[in-house]
């Protein structure tokens, strides 16, 4: 009889782990998330439960952001991964690789919670929205390169107003959609200066279910659009479809074709509008010229006739010229009379006229002597009379007696 081999605890635990991982190497489990614990290492520990059982689960750090965001308390999800064991506690657990909300109800609950969270952060505020350029030089389109969406956009742009289009190909659904769309928005914003950067971006895809459009509800896409320096037009799904990118985009279009219509004006309407403005400008200019002409003509009628105005001023000039001549003659007569009076006064003050009245001018060496003291200093003097000049020599004067008349003998000696 064969004996049953004796195994250690570690051996039986490893055998059990190998058996479980081999049988349950790829599984999908649906359940409600509970007991979520996010470790400082970045790993997430939680449980999946239904009405009858509980399954421990782990999501290692570095998984898809959509997976980590879907792990929320009370949310029903479908997790994909494998089953394993943890020998240290003798329990089994699921290693989760992907997690996505299960059913429309769970998705709507997650969508509402995420919308409220981002709204509180101010990502949907109107003050952050940028103006869409009226006529962009280049348009960037983020969509699938093989779908009908890009063809519809280019066709509508060609019909309305042809513009250069740069296409950034992305997956528009699935687990890689969100990361690729966010990377495309950032990529367009970070194009080098020597590369034609778009003036507006269109993020577009066709219609689909809530699950198909879920990539455009991811937080990384919303934040990338919010941080974009280039204006963004969202055109995801049909008119009735609403995703979080519609709230953060600078403009929402009901369809991808509608996004092309909002991105550029209609060329024929622009030409018609330009021609209308040109006609209005010409009519306004002509009207202004006519108004100015009428104004000039009105002012011209108010002006006096030059043939009547000039003779009047000529007559006034002749009258003023005559009065000026008469005034000048009067002024000259008055000036002449004044000069004559001054001449007579000057002549009356002439020393020659004084000499004629019996006076004499005493001088010596060309200098006039005005006192006896000066006369004593000169040995010879000239006496000038009205009829001639004589030379005399001074003598010393005798002081006359007090209160006695002065005689010629007293002055000149015997």
Domain that holds residue 21: 9-101
Longest C-alpha distance within the chain, in Å?
A: 210
Q: What is the mean pLDDT of the chain?
A: 86
pLDDT on residue 360: 81
Q: Lowest mean pLDDT: which of 77-86, 248-257, 372-381?
A: 372-381
With respect to residue 322, please indicate whether it lies within any of the assigned structural domains.
yes
The answer to whether residue 234 scores a pLDDT higher than 80 is yes
| Number of domains the chain is built from | 4
387/358 same-domain check? yes
Cβ-contact 44, 68 below 8 angstroms: yes
- The verdict on residue 110 lying in a domain is no
Token pair 């519809």: residue: 152
* DSSP string for residues in 312-376: HHHHHHHHHHHHHHHHHHHHHHHHHHHHHHHHHHHHHT-HHHHHHTT--EEEETTEE--SHHHHH
Residues 241 and 170 in one domain: yes
Please check whether residues 292 and 246 belong to one and the same domain.
Answer: no
**pLDDT tens per residue, range 337-396:** 899 888 888 877 777 777 777 788 888 877 887 787 777 777 788 888 878 888 887 666
Q: Provide the pLDDT for residue 361.
A: 81
Q: Is 413 left (phi over 0), alpha (psi -120 to 50) or beta?
A: left
Tell me the C-alpha distance between 394 and 185, whole Å.
134
Rounded distance between C-alpha atoms, residue 165 and residue 235, angstroms:
16
Question: Are 204 and 272 found together in one domain?
Answer: no
Mean pLDDT of 48-58: 89
Share of the chain above pLDDT 70, in %: 93
CA distance 203 to 249: 9
Report if residue 113 sits inside a domain. no
pLDDT score of 343: 84
Pair (195, 213) in one structural domain: yes
Over residues 245-273, the mean pLDDT reads 91
- Is residue 201 one of the residues assigned to a domain? yes
pLDDT band at residue 250 using 50, 70 and 90 as cut-offs: very high
Which of 2-11, 219-228, 316-325 reaches the highest mean pLDDT?
Answer: 219-228
Q: What is residue 414's predicted lDDT score, i.e. its pLDDT? A: 46
Residue 164 lies in a domain: yes
Q: Do 273 and 381 lie in a common domain?
A: no
How far is 259 from 254, CA to CA, in rounded Å?
Answer: 7
At residue 210, the pLDDT reads 81
In-domain check, residue 338: no
C-alpha closest to that of 380 among 367, 361, 393: 393
pLDDT of residue 300: 82
309, 404: one domain = no
Based on the domain organization, do 169 and 84 belong to the same domain? no
Tell me which of 241, 264, 287 is where a domain ends.
264
**In this structure, are 235 and 202 located in the same domain?**
yes
Do 216 and 318 lie in one domain? The reply is no
- Between residues 124 and 344, which one has the greater pLDDT? 124
Q: How confident is the model at residue 249 (pLDDT cuts 50, 70, 90)?
A: very high
What would the pLDDT profile of 148-204 be if each residue is shown by its tens digit?
999 999 999 999 999 999 999 999 988 889 999 999 999 999 999 888 889 999 999
For residues 83 and 30, state if they share a domain.
yes
CATH number at residue 194: 3.40.50.261
Is the confidence at residue 398, as pLDDT, over 60?
A: no
pLDDT for residue 309 is more than 80? no
Residue ending a domain, choose from 214, 234, 264: 264
Predicted confidence (pLDDT) at residue 232 exceeds the cutoff of 90: yes
| Contact call for residues 21 and 82 (beta carbons, < 8 A) | yes
Q: pTM for the whole thing?
A: 0.54
Q: Are residues 183 and 218 in the same domain?
A: yes
pLDDT at 408: 54
Domain boundary among 248, 264, 280: 264
Residues of the chain above pLDDT 90, percent: 41
| Residue 360 covered by a domain | yes
Higher pLDDT, 96 or 302: 96
Bridge partners of 251?
233
């Amino acid at each position: 009889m064969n004996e049953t081999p004796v195994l250690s605890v570690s051996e039986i635990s490893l055998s059990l782990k190998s058996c479980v991982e081999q049988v349950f190497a790829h599984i999908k489990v649906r359940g409600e998330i509970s007991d979520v614990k996010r470790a400082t290492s970045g790993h997430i520990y939680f449980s999946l439960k239904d009405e009858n059982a509980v399954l421990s689960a782990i999501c290692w750090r570095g998984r898809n952001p959509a997976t980590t965001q879907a792990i929320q308390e009370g949310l029903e999800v479908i997790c994909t991964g494998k089953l394993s064991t943890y020998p240290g506690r003798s329990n089994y657990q699921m290693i989760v690789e992907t997690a996505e909300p299960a059913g429309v109800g769970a998705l709507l609950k997650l969508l509402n919670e995420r919308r409220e969270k981002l709204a509180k952060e101010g990502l949907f505020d109107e003050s952050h929205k940028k103006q869409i350029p009226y006529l962009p030089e280049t348009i960037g389109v983020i969509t699938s390169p093989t779908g009908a969406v890009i063809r519809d956009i280019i066709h509508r742009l060609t019909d309305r107003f042809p513009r250069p289009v740069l296409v950034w190909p992305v997956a528009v659904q699935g687990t890689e959609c969100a990361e690729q769309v966010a990377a495309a928005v950032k990529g367009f914003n970070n194009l080098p200066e020597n590369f034609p950067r778009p003036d507006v971006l269109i993020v577009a895809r066709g219609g689909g279910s809530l699950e198909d459009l879920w990539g455009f509800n991811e937080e990384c896409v919303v934040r990338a659009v919010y941080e974009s320096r280039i204006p963004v037009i969202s055109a995801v799904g049909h008119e009735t479809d609403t995703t979080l990118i519609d709230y953060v985009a600078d403009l929402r279009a009901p369809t991808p074709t509608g996004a092309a219509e909002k991105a550029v004006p209609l060329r024929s309407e622009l030409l018609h509008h330009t021609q209308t403005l040109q006609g209005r400008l010409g009519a306004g200019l002509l009207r202004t010229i006519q108004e100015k002409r009428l104004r000039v003509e009105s002012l011209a009628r108010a002006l006096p006739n030059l043939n009547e105005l000039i003779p009047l001023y000529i007559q006034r000039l002749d009258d003023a010229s005559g009065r000026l001549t008469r005034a000048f003659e009067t002024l000259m007569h008055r000036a002449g009379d004044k000069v004559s009076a001054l001449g007579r006064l000057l002549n009356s003050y002439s020393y020659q006229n004084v000499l004629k009245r019996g006076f004499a001018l005493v001088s010596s060496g060309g200098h006039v002597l005005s006192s006896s003291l000066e006369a004593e200093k000169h040995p010879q003097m000239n006496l000038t009379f009205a009829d001639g000049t004589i030379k005399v020599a001074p003598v010393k004067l005798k002081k006359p007696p007090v209160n006695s008349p002065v005689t010629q003998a007293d002055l000149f000696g015997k």
